[in-house]
Structure 1
Amino acid sequence: MTEGQSIPRNLRHLRLLPAIAEHRSLTGAALVSGLSQTAVTHALHKVETAVGSALFDRNSTGAFPTDRGQVLLARVRRALDRLDPALDALAPGLSRVVTHSQLIALIATAQSGNVTLAARQLGLAQPTVHRAVTELERAAGRSLFDRARSGLVPRRACLSLCRAARLAFAELDQAEADLAEFDGREGGRVVLGALPLSRSNLLPAALVAFRQERPETPVIVHDSRYEDLLAGLVAGEVDAIIGALRDPAPVAEVEQHPLFDDRLCFVSGPGHPLTKESAPTIASLVQWPWIVPRLGAPARRQFEEFFAKHGLRPPENVIESGSVLLMRETLRQSEMLGCISGWQAAAEVQHGLMTALPIQPDVPARQIGVTLRRDWMPTTAQRRMLDLLKEAARNF
């Protein structure tokens, strides 16, 4: 597989690969698929041409996957295992007729709620997208959208199919990376969701080490809200989320792997009046304005529980932010107080940019780690990034 070549997205052709491997012959694959042997031979030739090598060794005893064929087969099977149950739940036999183009049109329409916007997003003509969605609905024997004044509202079955299709297509993207690695090239990309705590020390250290080892592999870091990152993770658009783990795990589709424990830290700017008091009280903390994590974050929950534990209402004069830079500069220019990860605060305090308050929260340690999609199979590059995150956590 040379530069510029990619896995073809003709689902009917890709479905033939597991059939050929299972029956060890093109004739057997033709029988179970309802195609002629000539059609199967032609389809296999197109796939092999696209990936740049033979995928099966064919001789008098049968057809057997090559080493490269095994690499691709593993991902194709995973893709179909994700896609076909959702298709067959809509209509028996739908998996035999649905096309990649139809699914792409469905996903774009469900995301935008409008066929015209979906067509613009895909760079296609509006009738083309409309026809693809209509043909898919006709094959399924049901409508996949409710028509409302606001646009097209995807039904539950539609959302389920879109999610399965995105996961299937993510597996095919992974296949391209796997084949590149098999050929001795850097392949694929790494997409990380970075929660506030990971951005100051842990992730930068891992990224620097990763870039030294793999100078050509693209890395994309998203620093969105946890809920947005989680949605991307479940849909196969984000590989891993790094930051505070949730207890319990938010959805059954993910698994959490701890890296280290962290405790909250109360800080101020250098020279704050509270740092000069010999014995400040917990009640005195409520009188000051604060910068705190946003509602719903584990650290915010612990912040509020700390005051409740001591019979006090949490401070109400707060700014919500997860940015260390914003907190540092705001504390430096004011007499506000900050609630931050102790792990993050350590470097700021060490350099004299923040000061740890005489009173610190007596709350349990939080687990910091990596959240992954359950049953995810990382590429070589993705696995290496996870290893480097573990190494970085041990070094801090």
Structure 2
Amino acid sequence: MIARNLRHLRLFLAVADLASVTRASDLYNISQPAVTQALGKLESQAGGALFTRTRQGFFLTGRGEALAGRASRAFERLDREMAAISPRLQLTATAAQLSALIATVATENFTLAARRLGLSQPTVHRAVSQLEQEAEAPLFQRSAHGLIATRPCQDLARAAQLAFAELAQAEADLAEFDGREAGGIVIGSLPLARSVLLPQALARFRQRRATLPVRVIDGLYDELLAGLRRGEIDVMIGALRNPAPIGDVVQEPLFEDGLAFVAAPGHPLARRARLRPADLGDRAWVVPRAGTPAREGFERFFGAAGQPLPPSILEAGSILLMRELLLRGDFLGCISAHQAAAEISRGLLDRLDIEENLPGRPIGLTFREGWIPTAAQAEMLDLLRQGVADLDRL
């Protein structure tokens, strides 16, 4: 609800900055009753008073400060990209138009964008055309293959996504004032977190907040990173990259993880001590995909001994798939030590006695730079941090 009327939010911020409805109405050249009506609608959506009205002026309540912080951050992102296209957009662009723009950039097609939004194709086409008219410049290049967004258009669409994500967090912040739950948490999960760290944190989180929506998205690193940067994912958890992949994300290490070389229970090599690369080079292996930190560690293990990589390699990032392959064939596996710990403790896999001295890889959290979590999101992050101690007991 909060994100549906950008003009009302701008008026709200003007009143907060100027402490006056009269000055805000003069700034935007609209009537005082119109400003008062906009504030009333926002306060209804926000669940309570945003201002304390006094003879000295309008002053933000705690609820108002929460909304003002989020709205200011949202417009800071939006206005920078709008100004790069046309300053008029700051006055005329609506949330509906920006939603249409986001969907069209993503799908490169008005019809597909309309389906994504549950609207008619003419409605989406008209919304984008209105933005282009105000911008006095094309936002898309029309081609036989679809609509290709210009660079400024791509930047605006991404800024709009992040602005809407910020306003969605405002909904959650405001709900906390009334003891309600709103919003949710979207976690991008890499393989290690799926099997060990995240399940424990989620179980504890549900004991505290039984109904707040939580969505876990499994995927490859690059896909999850793109979702994080677009505001579709709140936080990623898993192996960190060194250096950080791009400047607009922040990484928080939680612990160091090593590698585990594993085999099916009872495998002949599981009974041998001090295995070396020379003992393993002719075996069939199941390992994580190329480019992942675990795969790089596997390759360094053989490279440090001056040996070529085993010729038989099957890529699989899932510990479940790896385990099933090891049980069904004469395979060996290489995977995160913490990820393998639960399988080994349950007797589902045996750990090989390997001579290796590889550096650990950092496991942790990845956020957007400047991201401020809601209270519920902060609780989840704290549970993930606290859960690191449990890993040492596996």
Tell me the TM-score normalized by structure 2: 0.96
CA distance in 1, matches of 2:251, 2:298: 23
The answer on whether the counterparts of 1:266 and 1:360 sit within 8 Å (CA) in structure 2 is no
The answer on whether the counterparts of 1:264 and 1:361 sit within 8 Å (CA) in structure 2 is no
Q: Which amino acid aligns with 2:152?
A: A
Cα offsets for 1:284-318 (capped at 9, x unmatched): 31211111111111111121122122112212321
Counting matched residue pairs gives: 391
Deviant stretches of 4+, over 6 Å: none
The answer on whether the counterparts of 1:107 and 1:162 sit within 8 Å (CA) in structure 2 is yes
Compute the displacement of 1:230 (Å): 0.5
Specify the SS of the correspondent of 1:215: coil
Name the residue aligned to 2:151.
Answer: 156
Alignment of 1:200 with 2:200, yes or no, is no
Name the residue aligned to 1:310.
Answer: 305
Q: Unpaired segments of 5 or more residues in structure 2?
A: none
Greater mean alpha carbon deviation, residues 198-207 or residues 179-188: 179-188
The answer on whether the counterparts of 1:196 and 1:323 sit within 8 Å (CA) in structure 2 is yes
Name the residue aligned to 1:3.
Answer: none
The answer on whether the counterparts of 1:265 and 1:361 sit within 8 Å (CA) in structure 2 is no
**Residues 53, 287 of structure 1: alpha-carbon distance in 2 compared, 3 angstrom cutoff:** same
Q: Which amino acid aligns with 1:303?
A: F
1:119 alignment partner, one of 114, 117, 122: 114
Name the residue aligned to 1:393.
Answer: 388
CA distance in 1, matches of 2:60, 2:328: 66
Compute the displacement of 1:265 (Å): 1.2
Identity, in percent, stands at 53
CA distance in 2, matches of 1:122, 1:344: 39
Compute the displacement of 1:8 (Å): 4.7
Compute the displacement of 1:63 (Å): 1.4
CA distance in 1, matches of 2:271, 2:46: 69
Tell me the TM-score normalized by structure 1: 0.95
CA distance in 2, matches of 1:8, 1:290: 51
Q: Which amino acid aligns with 2:82?
A: L
The answer on whether the counterparts of 2:249 and 2:367 sit within 8 Å (CA) in structure 1 is yes
Show the 5 A alignment for 1:30-109: 30-109=25-104
Compute the displacement of 1:67 (Å): 2.1
Cα offsets for 1:146-200 (capped at 9, x unmatched): 1222111111111101110000000110011001111112232111111101111
Cα offsets for 1:252-303 (capped at 9, x unmatched): 1111111111101111112223234456441231211111111111111121
CA distance in 1, matches of 2:51, 2:354: 68
Alignment of 1:274 with 2:262, yes or no, is no
1:177 alignment partner, one of 172, 176, 188: 172
1:346 alignment partner, one of 325, 341, 350: 341
Specify the SS of the correspondent of 1:201: helix
State the Cα RMSD in Å. Answer: 1.4
Cα offsets for 1:300-356 (capped at 9, x unmatched): 112112212211221232121111111111111211010111112222222221111
CA distance in 2, matches of 1:67, 1:277: 65
Greater mean alpha carbon deviation, residues 10-19 or residues 358-367: 358-367
Specify the SS of the correspondent of 1:200: helix
CA distance in 2, matches of 1:373, 1:129: 29
Specify the SS of the correspondent of 2:4: coil
Q: Which amino acid aligns with 1:73?
A: A
The answer on whether the counterparts of 2:274 and 2:355 sit within 8 Å (CA) in structure 1 is no
The answer on whether the counterparts of 1:8 and 1:50 sit within 8 Å (CA) in structure 2 is no
The answer on whether the counterparts of 1:267 and 1:339 sit within 8 Å (CA) in structure 2 is yes
Specify the SS of the correspondent of 1:291: strand
The answer on whether the counterparts of 1:187 and 1:381 sit within 8 Å (CA) in structure 2 is no
The answer on whether the counterparts of 2:258 and 2:337 sit within 8 Å (CA) in structure 1 is yes
Cα offsets for 1:134-153 (capped at 9, x unmatched): 11011112111112221111
CA distance in 2, matches of 1:360, 1:105: 57
Name the residue aligned to 1:262.
Answer: 257
CA distance in 2, matches of 1:279, 1:391: 35
Name the residue aligned to 1:362.
Answer: 357
Q: Which amino acid aligns with 2:116?
A: Q
2:125 alignment partner, one of 124, 127, 130: 130
